[in-house]
Amino acid sequence: MIEPFVMDYVRKVSGSVSAEHGVGQQKPAFLHYSKSQAMIQTMGTLKAALDPNHILNPYKMLPDASGESGL
């Protein structure tokens, strides 16, 4: 219940919702708080190129074009 408030604070202080291991399953919808759409698209392009079978770092996801959880 508190997560939306925490994420809003992270955005206000220019923090990041991701870490070196990725954004996980619960945070993809908040990734745009600290990354631009161009950055998110680049991340998706790199992920698709380097891991076309989605076997590396499973369950670390990026939002899809709609902002929902995806790969």
pLDDT for the residue 66? 56
Taking CA atoms, 19 is separated from 27, 52, 53, 60, in Å, by 11, 22, 23, 11
pLDDT band at 32 (very low <50, low <70, confident <90, very high): confident
Confirm whether pTM is higher than 0.75.
no
As a whole number of angstroms, the distance between CA 65 and CA 19 comes to 21
Length of the chain in terms of residues written: 71
Task: Please list the residues that pair with 63 across neighbouring strands.
Answer: 69
Continuous H helices in 1-68: 3-12, 37-50
Instruction: For 44-62, write each residue's pLDDT tens digit.
Output: 899 889 999 988 877 777 7
